[in-house]
Amino acid sequence: MLSPIEQLAQAFNCAERVLIITGAGLSADSGLPTYRGVGGLYNSNTNDGVPIEVALSGPMLQRDPALCWKYLAELGRACLGAQPNQGHEVIAQLQRLKPHCWLLTQNIDGFHRAAGSPDERLIEIHGQLAPLYCQSCGQKDDDLARRLAAALPPLCRRCAGVMRPPVVLFEEMLPEKAIHTLYEQLGEGFDLVLAIGTSASFPYIVEPVLRARAIGAFTAEINPARTDLSDRVDLYIAGRALDVLPELLSHISVNRICKSSP
């Protein structure tokens, strides 16, 4: 009888089109905070007495940019002080093995790019932290580290407008290009959808899994704790991505003839 990891490896071997979905749990092993769950960033009010969803919102950036940037800077410094982990590297390797393996990430840390995931098959649905750009004139600034070390909020050197990162703040729309790409690929269908380290709190994260199941594709989740997705996938593997993914890779051989589905 195959172990859960061997079942997932067999599903990957047999799949032509794969979608991997990642959340904050993947980057937790790089030292970044998760957003919900035990010790989550969004579990309580900030030191300023407002929920983090309010502090990190589009309206707050307009109303009180200094307060919004206080918490944007915390995220930025955490990302700059960390590196991709082996989980990110394994995902990049899986994408090299499968030319139709796509990656949908909620993370804004840029670690997937740094680990080698190809830009053309990477959907950063919440954007990324750099480069900063001026909300008034559009001037860009690539030096995030220097800006975070200076006075906040960062101001444009051309027009003194407030700079911001190309991330999706609360109460803002998702990036049109990313949404278009996601639904374009969903329209083509996937043979395997794998969710890793996400609390699955957003409908655009849950929907790809449910659509895949509806057409008979194999669905799986890797997460230390059960989520709303756990009972809706074909296979749930309890564990950290950092532990599970290297073992998964050791069982994968895309040259193997697929004789049966898991």
* Active-site residue list: 126
Q: Closest by alpha carbon to 236, among 222, 218, 248, 224?
A: 222
Q: Closest by alpha carbon to 241, among 68, 111, 57, 76?
A: 111
What string of DSSP letters covers 22-34? E-HHHHHTTTPPP
Q: Describe the strand order of the beta sheet including 132-134 as a list of residue ranges.
A: 140-141, 132-134, 163-164
CA dihedral 174, 229, 43, 103 (to 10 degrees): -40
Contact criterion met (CB below 8 Å) for 112 and 84: yes
Neighbours of 260 (CB within 10 A): 6
Q: Three-state DSSP class for 58?
A: helix
